[in-house]
């Protein structure tokens, strides 16, 4: 779903713990994420978030490997806060790559400030523990997974944070508001709800945003001051420079669609959010669609 300019993270998956004689070890010691192609948030219920991570798996073994029934817990600087699985089977060619979709469930209540600071770093270490069924050369064996690795973060990534109109979305679009005189001057306000699902505040050093309807840009703007997002929902009314022609035509189209009983035009909000914690910052691109 995201192109090369919208990578959220980059990292390695090396199944390098396989021995050269072609049998599976009792424990996999290396499992690293390589070229994470897509991050899709599917749902947030309470303190838990379901998401899909699409990543390449690079086989460093000298023989083809099949992985299935992979389950693991994911930790950074503290206790595990995410659980993942690769139902499989996933065929990993020798010294080549395979792309897999990894469903993850993240528990925000277990994320600490130290974990957040690790995520804001350009390179952080992690640990995964669990089990996997490994098949090499026609022989299958269930093995333990106790692996560590390092994960570099791409500065140009972008995350799909869910539908703009979903009640669980991390960014919710409430509309572009202004009176006609202000619209004619190209001025307006955009209403956004930004959700911080963590149990502690997060600093926002910068925020810029663009609103569009289909292929029509409606306006853009930026946060004029740094702020702190407390746990829960923060409602914002932010300035936006309006594309007058596109906004008026979109409003007219919306009125006509409403009169004919059709759904309103779809909107897209995308931009860049610079998060911070204890002086460390990281830019994160985001997009949501109604």
pLDDT digits (tens, 9 = 90+) for 197-212: 889 888 888 888 888 8
Q: What are phi and psi of 109, to 5 degrees?
A: -65, -20
- Per DSSP, what are the bridge partners of residue 1? none
Q: Distance between CA atoms of 237 and 229, rounded to whole angstroms?
A: 14
**Beta carbons within 10 angstroms of residue 282's beta carbon:** 19
The dihedral through the CA atoms of 233, 126, 88, 4 has a sign that is positive
Q: Which of 210, 211, 240 is nearest to 224 (CA)?
A: 240
- Domain boundaries 161-289, CATH class: mainly beta
pLDDT digits (tens, 9 = 90+) for 157-166: 566 676 776 6
DSSP, collapsed to helix, strand or coil, labels residue 188 as: strand
The topology (CATH level 3) of 4-152 is Immunoglobulin-like (2.60.40)
Q: Which of 222, 219, 218 is nearest to 265 (CA)?
A: 218
Higher pLDDT, 25 or 171: 171
- Per DSSP, what are the bridge partners of residue 83? 73, 105
Chain-centroid distance of CA 99 in Å reads 17
Q: Do domains 4-152 and 161-289 have the same CATH topology?
A: yes
Name which of 74-78, 149-153, 154-158, 214-218 the model is least confident about. 154-158
**8 within 8 A of 154, measured Cβ to Cβ:** yes
pLDDT digits (tens, 9 = 90+) for 95-124: 777 787 888 999 999 999 888 888 777 777
Burial class (CB in 10 A: 0-12, 13-18, 19+), 58: buried
pTM of the complete model beyond 0.75: no
Instruction: Determine the pLDDT at residue 38.
Output: 73
Q: Distance between CA atoms of 252 and 229, rounded to whole angstroms?
A: 36
Give the tokens for residue 71.
């389950």
pLDDT digits (tens, 9 = 90+) for 58-97: 666 677 778 888 888 989 888 899 998 887 787 777 777 7
Domain boundaries, the chain: 4-152, 161-289
pLDDT digits (tens, 9 = 90+) for 18-67: 333 334 457 666 666 666 677 778 888 888 999 887 877 766 667 777 88
């Amino acid at each position: 779903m995201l192109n090369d300019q919208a990578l959220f993270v980059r990292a390695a998956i090396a199944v390098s713990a396989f021995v050269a004689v072609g049998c599976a070890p009792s424990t996999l010691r290396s499992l690293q994420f390589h070229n994470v192609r897509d991050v899709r948030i599917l749902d947030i219920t309470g303190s838990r978030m379901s998401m899909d991570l699409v990543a390449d798996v690079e086989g460093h073994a000298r023989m083809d490997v099949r992985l299935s029934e992979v389950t693991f817990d994911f930790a950074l600087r503290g206790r595990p806060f995410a659980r993942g699985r690769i139902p499989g089977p996933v065929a990993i060619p020798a010294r080549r790559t395979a792309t897999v979709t990894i469903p993850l469930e993240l528990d925000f209540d277990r994320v600490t400030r130290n974990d957040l600071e690790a995520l804001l770093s350009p390179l952080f270490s992690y640990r995964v523990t669990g089990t996997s069924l490994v098949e090499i050369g026609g022989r299958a064996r269930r093995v333990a997974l106790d692996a560590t690795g390092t994960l570099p973060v791409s500065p140009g990534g972008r995350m799909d944070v869910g539908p703009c109109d979903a009640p669980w979305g991390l960014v919710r679009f409430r509309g572009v508001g202004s009176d006609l005189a202000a619209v004619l001057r190209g001025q307006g306000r955009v209403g956004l709800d930004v959700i911080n699902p963590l149990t502690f505040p997060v600093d926002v050093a910068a925020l810029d945003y663009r609103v569009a309807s289909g292929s029509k840009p409606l306006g853009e703007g930026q946060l004029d001051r740094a702020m702190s997002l407390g746990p829960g929902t923060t409602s914002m009314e932010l300035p936006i420079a309006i594309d007058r022609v596109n906004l008026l035509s979109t409003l007219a189209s919306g009125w006509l669609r409403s009169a004919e009983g059709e759904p309103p035009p779809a909107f897209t909000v995308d931009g860049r959010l610079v998060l911070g914690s204890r002086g460390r910052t990281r830019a994160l691109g985001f997009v949501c669609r109604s």
